[in-house]
Amino acid sequence: MSAQKHYNGLILLASYIQRIYIAEKINERIGQQTSTARLSTAKKYLDELNMMMPLFEQTLELTNTQLNRVKEITASTKHLMQGYFPQLPATFAQKLVIVGSSLYGEQAMNAGVLRLGQLFQQEVGKDFTMRVKFYEERTQFIDAVVHTLHNKEEVEENLQQILANWFEGIMANRSYVLQDMDKIDQFFA
């Protein structure tokens, strides 16, 4: 199997785990109900992938043990993603969780694609490089809103509206998000 295909799968998988992890961290930080099981599972999976990826970058292959573990993590992550999107209408906190975790997940994916380009000497579109600043600015915005709520302060109405607009965009594309999750298996078949 192509090393590039495996690396692409690792990037995609890590970005979904990042979504789950950040969603639970935001909930925790703003005083919402948090699933400690989801949080610890996501952290464990991120740690495992973060240990595998540097080794993979050196060898350009997954061992059979690693490949089997990645398949297990993928199956479990699919299960964790089933409860990711909230029922509508969503509260402001739920919107913040989805927007924040989506942005951090997409930022991780973008960074991974840039690394894939370096590793395999592949040209990636200029838009991936341009998105670095975009995601940096958006995640800083999310961090500021989370900080505000953590300090029990009120988020300004115009900032709530910006977040609501971003949330609507994400929810409009949620079926694609879940379809992409289903594609991960193909990278490790």
For residue 168, the model assigns a pLDDT of 98
pTM score of the predicted model? 0.95
Count Cβ atoms within 10 A of the Cβ of residue 34 and give its class: 0-12 exposed, 13-18 middle, 19 or more buried.
Answer: middle
> Under 8 Å CB-to-CB from 174, ≥6 apart: which residues?
85
Which residues in the chain come in under a pLDDT of 70? 1
Q: CA separation (Å) from 20 to 3, 39, 97, 122?
A: 26, 7, 10, 29
Query: Where in the chain are the domains?
Result: 3-187
Closest CA to 188 of 4, 9, 3: 9
For residue 125, the model assigns a pLDDT of 85
Judge whether 48 and 14 are in contact, CB under 8 Å: no
Q: CA separation (Å) from 52 to 125, 151, 156?
A: 26, 37, 42
Structure tokens given for 112: 């991974």
For residue 1, the model assigns a pLDDT of 55
How many other C-beta atoms are found inside a 10 Å radius of the C-beta of residue 125? Answer: 10
> Under 8 Å CB-to-CB from 133, ≥6 apart: which residues?
none
